[in-house]
């Protein structure tokens, strides 16, 4: 049987980190002398690379302000991690799903807007780092929905688009997959609505992680 690759988004798909993302963004905006962004808008941009996400939140700001918010966000998030108060729980059923897929012969990868450091810390905390053959982050690629990180994961795994599925909670994930001619599956427990994922091109949307195992 040929190899098959399942590429997962992280925030909103594997883990729920929205509380600390929103808190860190509040701190970052305050540091830059800007009013706190609407938290619903912050959730909408989770998954994008940080500079792109911040620019969407402050469209009229000067580049220096955007850069200041980006730096302050990284500092705030890192401080939470170092203080031991960063909580990014795995969604219920994700650990079992990953173990199931690995046992069924799937290669696993992550494509995320997180940094290398943030992703490594997250996966190590949950003891699932070694399940993944490829980890692609915003440190080395253009922001989603650019296809670069997904294509890099396929190249690293040695598979083509026809052997790959992208799994994510945002339209950024789905558009990236469609543009790369990869099968796209959405998840209903993240930050964009199921109908948005279908409209963006998802083949289907899973309501719980166990559904993904059946869809795959």
pLDDT digits (tens, 9 = 90+) for 139-189: 999 999 999 999 999 999 999 999 999 999 999 999 999 999 999 999 999
pLDDT of residue 86: 79
**Token digits of residue 191:** 């930050």
Q: Cα–Cα distance between 11 and 89 in angstroms, integer?
A: 10
How does pLDDT run across 181-212, given as a tens digit for each residue? 999 999 999 999 999 999 999 999 999 999 99
- The residue from 11, 16, 23, 173 that is catalytic is 11
Name the residue with higher pLDDT: 47 or 134: 134
Say what the pLDDT of residue 104 is: 94
pLDDT digits (tens, 9 = 90+) for 26-35: 999 998 888 8
Q: Establish whether 9 is a catalytic residue.
A: yes
Domains of the chain and any CATH numbers: 4-16+88-215 (3.40.50.1000), 18-82 (1.10.150.240)
Q: C-alpha dihedral over 160, 163, 168, 172, to 10 degrees?
A: 30
Q: Which of 47-51, 79-83, 208-212 has the lowest mean pLDDT?
A: 79-83
Query: Which among 121, 85, 94 is positioned nearest to 12, based on CA atoms?
Result: 94
Strand 164-168 versus strand 134-136 pairing type: unpaired
List phi, psi (to 5°) of 113.
Answer: -80, -5
CB burial of residue 181 (10 Å; 0-12, 13-18, 19+): exposed
CA gap 154, 136 in Å, rounded: 10
Copy the structure tokens of residue 36: 């706190």
pTM of the model: 0.93
Is 109 exposed, middle or buried (CB count within 10 Å of its CB: 0-12, 13-18, 19+)? buried
CA distance 76 to 74: 6
The 8-class DSSP code of residue 129 comes to G
Of 112, 121, 111, give the one whose Cα is nearest residue 5. Answer: 111
pLDDT tens for 120-132 read 999 999 999 999 9
Determine the pLDDT at residue 184.
98
Active-site residue among 9, 27, 169, 173? 9
Indicate the helix (H) or strand (E) that contains 40.
Answer: helix 39-45
Decide if 138 contacts 11 (C-beta within 8 A). Answer: no
Task: Sheet with 4-8: list strands edge to edge.
Answer: 134-136, 106-111, 4-8, 164-168, 183-187, 204-206
11 tagged catalytic: yes
Closest to 192 in 3D by CA, of 179, 181, 202: 202
């Amino acid at each position: 049987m040929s190899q098959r690759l399942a590429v997962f988004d992280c925030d909103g798909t594997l883990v729920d980190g929205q509380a600390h993302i929103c808190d860190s963004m509040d701190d970052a905006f305050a540091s830059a002398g800007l009013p706190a962004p609407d938290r619903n808008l912050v959730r909408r941009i989770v998954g994008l690379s940080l500079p792109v996400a911040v620019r969407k939140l402050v469209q009229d700001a000067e580049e220096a302000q955007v850069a200041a918010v980006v730096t302050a966000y990284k500092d705030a998030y890192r401080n939470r991690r170092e203080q031991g108060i960063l909580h990014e729980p795995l969604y219920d059923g994700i650990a079992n799903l990953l173990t199931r897929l690995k046992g069924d012969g799937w290669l696993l990868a992550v494509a995320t807007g997180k940094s290398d450091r943030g992703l490594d810390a997250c996966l190590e905390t949950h003891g699932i780092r070694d399940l993944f053959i490829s980890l692609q982050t915003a440190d080395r690629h253009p922001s989603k929905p650019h296809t670069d990180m997904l294509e890099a994961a396929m190249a690293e795994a040695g598979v083509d688009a026809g052997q790959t599925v992208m799994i994510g909670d945002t339209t950024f994930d789905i558009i990236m997959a469609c543009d790369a001619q990869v099968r796209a599956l959405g998840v209903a427990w993240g930050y964009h609505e199921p109908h948005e994922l279908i409209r963006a091109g998802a083949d289907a949307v899973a309501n719980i992680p166990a559904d993904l195992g059946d869809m795959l």
